[in-house]
């Protein structure tokens, strides 16, 4: 037991074990990655939303962007909502309502995103 573990309050023992388990699993994952001949592609997906009503649940996606681990933009598209826009939430989305008029539908955009996925072959 290292010094950090020895000073843990007894009420935190279950958390200590949980963290230890997570660390062990992370090490196993790292071993699997290190021993693998496969390359791993890390992507980040950002989805912007607009308001389609007055509740916090009344939201629809208005944009999607995908970047790789080198911050290179792999995909960037607006999405035309299927409901009327109450607010474009411009300070958060960076999108104006008028920009969405000729954008592709959600189904069109999601199909493009799915087609970006590398084949398993």
Rounded percentage of the chain residues whose pLDDT exceeds 70: 66
Write down the pTM of the prediction.
Answer: 0.64
Mean pLDDT of 21-29: 51
> Once rounded to an integer, what is the mean pLDDT over residues 92-120?
91
CATH code of the domain in which 78 resides: 3.30.420.10
In a domain, 121, yes or no: no
Confidence band (pLDDT; 50, 70, 90) for 34? Answer: low
Instruction: Return the ∠ at Cα 78 (arms to 44 and 101), rounded to 5°.
Output: 170
The domain containing residue 63 runs over which residues?
Answer: 43-116
Tell whether 76 and 23 lie within a shared domain: no
Q: Residue by residue, what is the 3-state secondary structure of the chain?
A: CCHHHHCCCHHHHHHHHHHHHHHHHHHHHHHHHHHCCCCCCCEEEEEEEEECCCCCCCEEEEEEEEEECCCCEEEEEECECCCCCCECCHHHHCCCHHHHCCCCEHHHHHHHHHHHCCCCC
């Amino acid at each position: 037991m290292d010094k950090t573990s020895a000073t843990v309050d007894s009420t935190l023992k279950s958390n200590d074990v949980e963290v230890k388990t997570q660390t062990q699993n992370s090490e196993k994952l790292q071993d699997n990655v290190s021993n693998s001949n496969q390359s791993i592609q890390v992507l980040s997906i950002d989805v912007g939303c607009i308001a389609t009503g007055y509740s916090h649940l009344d939201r629809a996606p208005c944009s999607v962007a995908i970047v790789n681990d080198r911050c290179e933009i792999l995909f960037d598209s607006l999405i035309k909502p299927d409901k009327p826009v109450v607010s474009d939430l411009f300070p958060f989305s960076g999108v104006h309502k008028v920009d969405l008029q000729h954008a592709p539908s959600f189904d069109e955009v999601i199909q493009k995103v799915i087609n970006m996925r590398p084949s398993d072959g």
